[in-house]
Amino acid sequence: MSDYLATVLLVEDDTEIRRFLHAALGVEGYKVVESANARRGAIDASSHKPDLAIVDLGLPDFDGLEVIKGIREWSEMPILVLSARSREHAKLEAFDAGADDYVTKPFGIGELLARVRVALRHRARAPTGGSALRLGPCVVDLEARRTLREGREVHLTPIEYRLVGCLARHLGMVVSHRELLSEVWGPTHQADTHYLRIYLKRLRDKLEADPMRPRHFLTETGVGYRLVADE
């Protein structure tokens, strides 16, 4: 083991931001690998196997979204987007590609470092127990991140697994919007309840026998959601 807390990959074409972040992350005890473009970022991700990646979207060769998708083909490492794109659509696109969090430029270094800590904590907290969840036609194995619907493989994104995992840790109990958002997306997203509506709909579409009449992913109007599993 090295003396570093973790290795952080920084895919960013702006030299000043890269140097500044490298210094700030270094002070916090992280080892930093710098990549100045998307192609380099993809190579560094696979050769250095970082614990977390910070990815800019506006890169000179390819879009940062391609870097994220590429990493997601083989790794569940936390990916934090650092981008000037501030529209909700851009954020959802990044989350869809597999990003775990999103920081908009210009950013505060204190906030960015806090998000890095949260993302790394999520990674460290392994799901409890090895048992799979039985949800009507589906079996969800949170540990192996594998889902079967009537014996056929169903793909869930990393965020969807985190959402199911968070609900499953409080199986049968109501989990508030605030808690879900903070657990799955980070404490700064506590007001973004529309994320939950979008993702719960996707989970119901994928996992419920009748998504219009959910039996497992239940809405507690105005409060949160509750996951009910079969015995």
When the beta carbons of 23 and 84 are compared against Ca ion, the nearer one is: 84
Looking only at the bridges linking them, the beta strands covering 224-227 and 174-176 are: antiparallel
By CB under 5 A, the residues from 149 to 178 that bind Ca ion are none
When the beta carbons of 56 and 66 are compared against Ca ion, the nearer one is: 56
Residue span binding Ca ion (CB under 5 A) among the ranges 18-26, 55-63, 105-113, 156-164: 55-63
Q: Could you tell me how many residues of this chain bind Ca ion (CB under 5 A)?
A: 3
| Minimal distance, residue 17 CB to Ca ion, in Å | 8
Minimal CA–CA distance to 29: which of 12, 7, 52? Answer: 7
Structure tokens at 147: 């889902």
Residue span binding Ca ion (CB under 5 A) among the ranges 50-58, 96-104, 143-151, 215-223: 50-58
Residue span binding Ca ion (CB under 5 A) among the ranges 6-14, 133-141, 175-183, 203-211: 6-14
Residue in 11, 13, 35, 199 binding Ca ion, rule: CB under 5 A: 13
Residue in 44, 50, 52, 56 binding Ca ion, rule: CB under 5 A: 56
- With beta carbons less than 8 A apart as the criterion, state whether 45 and 69 touch: no
When the beta carbons of 6 and 67 are compared against Ca ion, the nearer one is: 67
Residue in 29, 58, 172, 187 binding Ca ion, rule: CB under 5 A: 58
- With beta carbons less than 8 A apart as the criterion, state whether 172 and 228 touch: yes
When the beta carbons of 58 and 187 are compared against Ca ion, the nearer one is: 58
| Minimal distance, residue 79 CB to Ca ion, in Å | 16
CA 207 to CA 142: how far, in whole Å? 14
State the residues that interact with Ca ion by CB under 5 A.
13, 56, 58
